[in-house]
Amino acid sequence: MTNSKTAVGKRGFYIVGEGNDGTGKSTQIKLLAKHIEKEFGLEVLVISEPGGTPIAEEIRHIIKNGSLERSAVTNLLLFTACRYEVWFNEALPILGRGGVVLSARNYLSSVVYQGQAEGLGSDYVRQVTAAFMDRRYMEPDLTVILSLEDDTRRTRLNQRGAAKNPDTFEIRDDDFQEKINQGYAGLVESDGFAEVDASRTIEQVQRSLRKVVVKAMIAKGLD
């Protein structure tokens, strides 16, 4: 398919890639963005939570600082502030023009990390998020979970230097990481999100991801 399309419906298309640290979300989202821009000629915004605006980037530094002890509620509010900044200032205008927003993570990360692993509860996280974000944010057009066996995931993190410079959540113990893995597995089961095996090569994962995304976009209708 060539650059004959300029918009996805009247509401654009909002895609979220989720998964534990080390599953390759950011890499896959960036590759997917290039594919959509080239094949469909669509305006694409790539988001890597947390961050994306000057204010969100400042908050990101706090979130990523593993030496700063803070509560699960504080973490949730910091993430929510970042999401508010990026969504209303950057993402919604793109969607309003019929473009595509590709996000590595959204509030589902907090459902898993703060809600389940840090103990706030999934319902609490959803309620707090919904108090600040709109329905469009809360209900993406497509959510894909990248899954990866834990030993392979840790190896990848070590290869990218995370072991030397771990962030707030990468330094947490095995019990915490297992809760994260279980949380994402639970989302696939309970919410019916698409799941892509991230254990393969970057190219193989990208091909699988493209199939899921393009099918969903065509089903929605390209204007």
Q: Write out the chain's pLDDT in tens, 223 residues.
A: 434 445 666 789 999 999 998 899 999 999 999 999 999 999 999 999 999 999 999 999 999 888 888 999 999 999 999 999 999 999 999 999 999 999 999 999 999 999 999 999 999 999 999 999 999 999 999 999 999 988 888 888 877 765 555 566 877 778 998 999 999 999 999 999 999 999 999 999 999 999 999 999 988 876 5
DSSP 33-71: HHHHHHHH---EEEEESS-SSHHHHHHHHHHH-TTS---
* Per-residue model confidence (pLDDT) at position 89: 97
Q: Which of 148, 192, 208 is nearest to 21 (CA)?
A: 148
First to last CA, the chain: 14
Distance (Å, whole) CA 145 – CA 23: 9
* Per-residue model confidence (pLDDT) at position 16: 98
* Per-residue model confidence (pLDDT) at position 117: 95
* Per-residue model confidence (pLDDT) at position 2: 38
* Per-residue model confidence (pLDDT) at position 3: 40
Q: Which amino acid is at 189?
A: E
Residue 199 · residue 152 · CB < 8 Å: yes
- The CATH superfamily label for domain 13-220 reads P-loop containing nucleotide triphosphate hydrolases (3.40.50.300)
- Residue boundaries of the structural domains of the chain: 13-220
Q: pTM (2 decimals)? A: 0.90
The greatest distance separating any two alpha carbons of the chain, rounded to the nearest whole angstrom, comes to: 51
* Per-residue model confidence (pLDDT) at position 1: 40
Residue written as token pair 């389940």? 116
Q: What is the dihedral of CA 199, 204, 206, 208, to 10 degrees?
A: -90
Q: Which of 56, 156, 74, 157 is nearest to 110 (CA)?
A: 74
Distance (Å, whole) CA 85 – CA 52: 8
Query: What does the DSSP 8-state code read for residue 20?
Result: S
Q: 115-123 long-range CB contacts below 8 Å, 24 or more apart?
A: 115/183, 116/179, 116/180, 116/182, 116/183, 116/186, 117/172, 117/176, 117/179, 117/180, 117/183, 118/72, 118/75, 119/72, 120/72, 120/73, 120/76
* Per-residue model confidence (pLDDT) at position 6: 58
